[in-house]
Chains A and B, each alone.
Chain A
Amino acid sequence: MPSNPEATVLAAMIPPAIVEKIRALIPRYPSPRAVTLPALHLVHEHFRCVPHRAMAEIAALLDITPAEVSDTMSFYGFFPQAPIGDVRVWVCRSISCMLRGGDEMLDHACRSLGIEPGQTTQDGKLTVEFAECLGICDYAPAALADDGRVFGPLDESSTEAMLNELKQGPRELF
């Protein structure tokens, strides 16, 4: 849902329940700005992205400028401005995974889905990204879904199986 820069009055984008969650975090820190990352995570979880309007609303909640939120948000490369797939999966390409074929598994996954790393499948089900070390080297070459599922050691057939499983949608870990 693109925002209209011409409009002067827009309804709030972040739902009240999430606004409350963000407000509840403020007393935990000596400065409201510290809630930037937690707020971005909450918004991202809800919209599967952080639209610019939501970013401005976070700024207002935390009493900082939208530029400050944008500065932080853009640094991490974690919060896209357009929605990602229902499941986001990171395929690791750092040393231990690389040595055991991580780069090839990333290629394989992307080729099999017809996308490039960082892209989302046409049906909106799956986003595949590369990652630097995910800290799951005991599963190398490994991949991590954003619902917490860990996959590995991957080969071509288990990568296929992983993609098929992830296409079913996110799952509760516990």
Chain B
Amino acid sequence: MSDFEPILTRNWNVPDGDTLKVYESRGGYQASRKALTTMDPDAVVGVVKDSELRGRGGAGFPCGLKWTFLPKDRKETLLCVNGDESEPATFNNRLLMEKDPHQFIEGILIACYATRASTAYVYLRFEYIKAYRILERAVAEARAAGHLGKNIYGSGFNLEIWLHRGAGAYICGEETGLIESLEGKRGWPRIKPPFPAIEGAFRKPTVVNNIETLACVPHILERGAAWFKSIGTPKSYGPKLYCVSGHVNKQVCVELPLGVTARELIDVHAGGVWKGRKAKAAVPGGISMGLLSAAELDVKLDFEDIRKTGCLGLGTAAVTVLDDQTSIVDYLYNTSRFFAHESCGQCTPCREGTSWMYKTMKRIKSGGGRLEDLDILQNMSNNLGIMPGTTICGLADGAAWPFKNALAKFRPEIEEYIRTHQDPSRRITPLQAAIASGVSADVAVRHSLTVLGSAPAPAALHSADGGNRP
């Protein structure tokens, strides 16, 4: 698409593009002025709904539709902006805040007007230190210029934006985990329903939107829903920021119409796979989404096509490339370590399951793998998460998907690894196997000689990895 004109990134390379002066000189805050002074809030919701803008944070829920779920008779509405971008390999929201904070603030202003929210909390992950400072300055500038505060543009609409910093927890990117964290509690996701639109932060109707989603809103207001729908693929409209990292020559964030292929991202925008190698696989949109094999790189990265490959979805559209020298075992070791570390501990299947998967991968990687471990991992990944109905939020689904995809697409390679990387000192012991097969630890130890002699083959259950904890 050579005729594609970047929208969300149009101010990125403009000198002082992060200042109010430059933003206004390039047409900024015209859309918010138009919305607040000439449109009814419901009309704004209507335009966004018509544009079929889908949330850019990972789940892809239609933004305008989400706004209509708010109760009609509500007294107060809150907007929580999800700036807890923590999905591995994703950094588009950071750049949106650092390079064009006013576009984001204008998006908040319009969203708040549309939903009649007079307070917006921007929940920002702590690690975005530079983005926080830039936003702090930008919010102050916008307030001083009358884009925030009381009676904005004489419309009678009031809005305050407060920045709220997280403290390094991945789970706070889940919208109800974010709400709990904002309320000053541990970031434990809530059981839904009630959904935040009905009962969210501080038990008030709450809209939770992603930064990139909000950054699209001013442009939709300015250019119209039809314009937005003219970009992208059927059912996946608009521009999207794609991140590419890992084994590529140039790690970048690039704005393209929804529906670009992973291959185009890698070859055209990221300068190809590094060191002249070939890609073995690619993570399509943050590690929660699973894994594309090299043969699947021509799939369109939009909300629809990507699912045909068995991946969970578009996610955050952050592509990570694995070159042909990379072991899938290392990939699974890394993803399982991540989820074991980031599971919030609320639901037992996730808390225990992610640790178990990590310990198994650690044992396989270090030379103590058994072929039957792969069946156990397959079984666990089928039973872990919100989809099989065993957890409250989708973190465990994200932990399971890399295993589902890797076992479906790369099982022979993993088996080969297990066969050729055996280290007797890393294998599970007969005593562990006996305990795992149901012999009580006490009995097993007291009768260790006989039990060890007759221990069943270590097939029935998973067992520990020799005391190594994550």
Residue-wise, chain A 41-57 has the 8 Å CB interface mask toward B (1 for contact) of 10000000000000000
Tell me the count of chain A residues lying within 8 A, CB to CB, of chain B: 47
* A60 contacts chain B at the CB level, 8 A cutoff: no
* A31 contacts chain B at the CB level, 8 A cutoff: yes
The reply to whether A132 and B186 form a contact with Cβ atoms under 8 Å apart is no
- Of B129, B167, B334, the most chain A CB neighbours within 10 A belong to B167
The reply to whether A38 and B164 form a contact with Cβ atoms under 8 Å apart is yes
Least CB distance from B384 to A in Å reads 19
The reply to whether A135 and B247 form a contact with Cβ atoms under 8 Å apart is no
Interface members, chain B 204-253 (any A CB < 8 Å): 204, 243, 245-247, 251-253
Least CB distance from A53 to B in Å reads 19
* B89 contacts chain A at the CB level, 8 A cutoff: yes
* B162 contacts chain A at the CB level, 8 A cutoff: yes
* B271 contacts chain A at the CB level, 8 A cutoff: no
Interface members, chain A 91-147 (any B CB < 8 Å): 93-96, 98-100, 131-140, 144, 146-147
CA distance A62 to B184 in the complex (A): 10
Q: Interface on chain B toward A: helix, strand, loop, or mixed SS?
A: mixed
CA distance A116 to B160 in the complex (A): 44
The reply to whether A132 and B251 form a contact with Cβ atoms under 8 Å apart is no
Interface members, chain A 24-51 (any B CB < 8 Å): 28-31, 33-38, 40-41
* B58 contacts chain A at the CB level, 8 A cutoff: no
Interface members, chain B 175-220 (any A CB < 8 Å): 181-187, 202, 204
The reply to whether B204 and A31 form a contact with Cβ atoms under 8 Å apart is no
The reply to whether A94 and B129 form a contact with Cβ atoms under 8 Å apart is no
CA distance A138 to B254 in the complex (A): 11
Are A95 and B187 also in contact (CB < 8 A) when A100-B246, A138-B91, A173-B133 are? no
* B90 contacts chain A at the CB level, 8 A cutoff: yes
The reply to whether A96 and B85 form a contact with Cβ atoms under 8 Å apart is no
The reply to whether B91 and A137 form a contact with Cβ atoms under 8 Å apart is yes
* B322 contacts chain A at the CB level, 8 A cutoff: yes
CA distance A81 to B153 in the complex (A): 48
Closest to A140 in B: B245
The reply to whether B202 and A99 form a contact with Cβ atoms under 8 Å apart is no
The reply to whether B129 and A148 form a contact with Cβ atoms under 8 Å apart is yes
Q: Which 7 A-B pairs have the closest CB atoms?
A: A36-B184, A148-B129, A75-B186, A76-B167, A96-B245, A78-B167, A33-B184
Given contacts A37-B167, A95-B334, A134-B127, 12 further A-B contacts (CB under 8 A): A29-B162, A34-B164, A41-B126, A76-B168, A93-B337, A95-B89, A135-B85, A138-B91, A138-B245, A144-B127, A148-B130, A173-B133
- Can you list 18 pairs linking A and B with CB atoms under 8 Å apart? A29-B162, A30-B202, A31-B183, A33-B184, A38-B165, A40-B167, A41-B165, A94-B287, A96-B89, A96-B251, A99-B247, A99-B322, A132-B341, A133-B170, A135-B94, A137-B318, A140-B251, A146-B129
Chain A residues within CB distance 8 Å of chain B = 28-31, 33-38, 40-41, 62, 64, 68, 71-72, 75-79, 90, 93-96, 98-100, 131-140, 144, 146-148, 150, 173-174
Chain B residues within CB distance 8 Å of chain A = 85-91, 93-94, 125-130, 133, 160, 162, 164-170, 181-187, 202, 204, 243, 245-247, 251-253, 283, 287, 318, 320, 322, 326, 330-331, 334-335, 337-338, 341-342, 344
